[in-house]
């Protein structure tokens, strides 16, 4: 992912707007590189831009430690024949952000991405009269609060977005899970060669017969390949049949891994490798926050 031209700006598509968690993941993953960034409020628009060659890379969320996989993203990467070439974990710390001068008693509507709202359910139970309004992204929700200039609206976003749009943080770290991380993937049109590739993302379907998935997973077990994620997704137009999205540790440069995947492909109705890339080994750092209740109104 390097370029010898010092003036070259790497064209990257980012989900959301400046200040979003995707923005943070992008700046950390491409740290030290000059970027020409375009922003997208829909996952499909971003993936289409990568598939059409309008940008070299795209970055978007694919999994959260609290709410699980974002299956739409898996579907789009598969549908548009893109490849995963990297990943980045970002710690999620959701804040309730408002216009300066707003109090809790003023709030009637809260905007955020559906994932952001889902990750703060326990906090919202304390305020059952609030209307939770899904919106494009957490950063765009903060931007909308700034644009509307109303004291009865708020957003779930991060502190970067609050600062960017001139908002106050009325309640910090309101997400349910104190070790809440979102995994972002970097996608490109094709697989890329990298050093230290150690993670593989697959999509497959199995025969509709007893034990079919068990036998598929057995390939990983008997060949000592650690599976880190398994997500099922209904196949449109084929009731009770599923795509399985799987993350497993390994490198296609390893002949043993390659033989395992070739054997696996022969037992599946459909099999495709979506990416083989370096894992973000340092991304997730678990911690506790014993004083949490003191900082939530």
pLDDT tens digit sequence for 141-158: 999 999 999 999 999 999
- Show the domain range for 109: 95-178
Instruction: Evaluate whether residue 111 is within a structural domain.
Output: yes
Model pLDDT for residues 95-150, shown as the tens digit of each residue: 999 999 999 999 999 999 998 999 999 999 999 999 999 998 899 999 999 999 99
Residue 1 is predicted with a pLDDT of 52
The answer on 172 and 107 residing in a single domain is yes
Interatomic CA distance for residues 251 and 235, integer angstroms: 28
Just list the catalytic residues: 182, 184
CATH code of the domain containing 220: 3.30.70.260
Is 30's pLDDT higher than 50?
Answer: yes
Residue 156 is predicted with a pLDDT of 98
188, 210, 233: which is the final residue of a domain? 188
178, 209, 224: which is the final residue of a domain? 178
Instruction: Evaluate whether residue 5 is within a structural domain.
Output: no
Instruction: Evaluate whether residue 125 is within a structural domain.
Output: yes
136, 162, 188: which is the final residue of a domain? 188
Give the β-pairing of 227-234 and 242-249. antiparallel
Residue 251 is predicted with a pLDDT of 96
Q: Read off the tokens for 169.
A: 């943080």
The answer on 80 and 184 residing in a single domain is yes
Instruction: Evaluate whether residue 44 is within a structural domain.
Output: yes
Instruction: Evaluate whether residue 77 is within a structural domain.
Output: yes
For the chain, the average pLDDT equals 90
114 CB-side CA count, 13 A: 7
Residue 111 in contact with residue 135, Cβ under 8 Å? yes
The answer on 264 and 249 residing in a single domain is yes
pTM of the prediction? 0.82
CATH code of the domain containing 83: 3.40.190.10
């Amino acid at each position: 992912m390097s370029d010898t031209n010092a003036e070259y700006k790497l064209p990257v598509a980012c989900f959301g707007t400046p200040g979003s968690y995707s923005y943070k993941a992008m700046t950390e993953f491409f740290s030290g590189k000059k970027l020409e960034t375009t922003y997208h409020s829909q996952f499909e628009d971003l993936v289409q831009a990568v598939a059409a060659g309008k940008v070299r890379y795209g970055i978007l969320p694919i999994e959260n430690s609290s709410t699980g996989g974002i299956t739409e993203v898996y579907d789009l990467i598969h549908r548009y024949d893109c490849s995963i070439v990297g990943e980045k974990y970002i710690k999620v710390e959701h804040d309730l952000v408002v216009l300066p001068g707003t109090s809790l008693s003023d709030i009637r509507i809260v905007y955020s991405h559906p994932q952001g709202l889902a990750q703060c359910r326990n906090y919202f139970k304390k305020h059952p009269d609030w209307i939770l309004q899904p919106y494009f992204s957490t950063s765009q929700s903060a931007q909308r609060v700034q644009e509307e200039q109303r004291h009865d609206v708020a957003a779930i976003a991060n502190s970067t977005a609050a600062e960017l749009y001139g908002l106050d943080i009325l309640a910090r770290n309101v997400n349910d899970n104190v070790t809440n991380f979102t995994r972002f993937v970097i996608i490109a049109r094709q697989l890329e060669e990298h050093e230290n590739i150690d993670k593989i993302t697959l999509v497959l379907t199995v025969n509709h017969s007893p034990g079919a998935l068990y036998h598929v997973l057995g390939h990983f077990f008997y060949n000592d390949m650690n599976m880190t994620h398994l997500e099922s997704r209904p196949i449109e137009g084929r009731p009770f049949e599923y795509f399985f999205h799987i993350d497993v540790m390994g490198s296609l440069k390893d002949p043993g891994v390659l033989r395992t995947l070739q054997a696996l492909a022969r037992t599946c109705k459909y099999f495709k490798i979506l990416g083989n890339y370096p894992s973000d080994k340092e991304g997730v750092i678990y911690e506790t926050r014993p004083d949490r209740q003191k900082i939530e109104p």
